[in-house]
Amino acid sequence: MSTIRFDGKIAIVTGAGGGLGKAYAKLLASRGAKVLVNDLGGDFTGQGSNPGYAEAAAADIRAAGGIAEANGDSVADTKGATAIVQQALDRWGGVDILVNNAGVVTSNGSLSDVTDESYAIDLGVAAGGTFRMMRAVWRHMMDKNYGRIVNVSSGSFFGMGSAVPYPAAKGAVIGMTRGAAVATDFLQRNIKLNVIMPISWSRMTALMGPEIESAMQRDFPPERVAPVVAWLAHEDVPCNGEIFTAGGGRFARVFIGVTEGYRGTTKDISVEDVRDHFEDAMRIEPFTIPKHALEEAGMHESSVDWSTFFQFIA
């Protein structure tokens, strides 16, 4: 089998001043990509800024023989996201790969203690930043009919105690990735978007305590996630709109399925019907993995031609 390369490709990796983002940027650059290393340089709660983080990571890549430049703009506002993409366009003439890795954690306590401000910051960086960066590259990728976007979600989406803002932001990343992937499939564009749920040591793992953080550093270094991200960013990646968990030398598909459930003899069901057939709805098998929301809607018996709704995709 041939070696996987990214020669001639231009990549942007957000939140790449250290940890996972830096590992992604270094691997892409080592395989031939030109990489714009973006990092605001704040702490993991989103406070402060320091362009030195991005500059040091880019310097490390160049010292290893790669091509990289630094960017210290914030993905948390439209001006910053636009500037990040424009720098890659001005310097290298395009953007082929976008890895949306930037994220923060501002609250880790009881739901009742989460402030509006911390919720907005979490959503504004992980979800809002992903949206703004995708929007900033979208027309460019559509016009040249090529692009690879890897969006970073989290296993916290499955539930993480009462720390609601971070899982909410990471769940939103899945939703927008799936939506955009459906659009590129329908429009037959060679743009593929997929999601990674990394299990890895990062600055955020300090919240778990010293023992867990030490084990994470040992068993789940960022470099064991980077190969999966690189494959999802490659021109030969076969999937679009999929989700993968990766860490510690393992990777696996994550999917959202819909069970067969219960269908009444008539289209009207009562509360008692729901009670009496709740176990039918809860059974895991058989199930379907819908390609999009309209396919899921079609699982309900109806005369509606759901396929006509695709005319609204642009």
Question: Within a domain: residue 3?
Answer: no
Instruction: Show which of 224, 254, 284 is a domain's final residue.
Output: 254
**Among 15-24, 143-152, 161-170, whose mean pLDDT is lowest?**
161-170
Residues 58 and 114 in one domain: yes
Residues 236 and 146 in one domain: yes
One-character DSSP codes across the chain: -PPP--TT-EEEETT-SSHHHHHHHHHHHHTT-EEEEE-----TTS----THHHHHHHHHHHHTT-EEEEE---TTSHHHHHHHHHHHHHHHS---EEEE--------S-GGG--HHHHHHHIIIIIHHHHHHHHHHHHHHHHHT-EEEEEE--GGGG-BTB--HHHHHHHHHHHHHHHHHHHHHHTT-SEEEEEEEE----GGGGGG-HHHHHHHHHH--GGGTHHHHHHHTSTT---SS-EEEEETTEEEEE---EE-----SSS---HHHHHHTHHHHH---SEE--SSHHHHHTTS--S--GGGGGGG--
Question: Within a domain: residue 99?
Answer: yes
CATH number at residue 86: 3.40.50.720
Residues 229 and 308 in one domain: no
Max avg pLDDT among 31-35, 115-119, 182-186: 31-35
pLDDT at residue 22 tops 80: yes
pLDDT at residue 208 tops 80: no
pLDDT at 314: 46
Residues 33 and 72 in one domain: yes
pLDDT digit string, tens, across residues 254-313 = 999 999 899 887 778 899 999 999 999 999 988 888 877 767 666 665 555 656 555 555
Instruction: Show which of 254, 277, 297 is a domain's final residue.
Output: 254
Residues 270 and 246 in one domain: no
Residues 213 and 199 in one domain: yes
pLDDT at 110: 78
pLDDT band at 43 (very low <50, low <70, confident <90, very high): low
Containing domain of residue 301, as a range? 258-312
More confident residue, 184 or 111: 184
pLDDT at 156: 84
pLDDT at 205: 62
Mean pLDDT of 29-45: 88
Instruction: Show which of 233, 254, 275 is a domain's final residue.
Output: 254
Residues 119 and 262 in one domain: no
Question: Within a domain: residue 27?
Answer: yes
pLDDT at residue 126 tops 60: yes
Residues 249 and 265 in one domain: no
pLDDT digit string, tens, across residues 64-121 = 999 999 999 999 999 999 999 999 999 999 999 999 998 877 766 778 888 898 889 8
Residues 116 and 262 in one domain: no
Per the structure, the count of domains in the chain is 2
pLDDT at 294: 65
Please give the positions annotated as active site. Answer: 166
pLDDT band at 157 (very low <50, low <70, confident <90, very high): confident
Residues 217 and 279 in one domain: no
Mean pLDDT of 207-229: 79
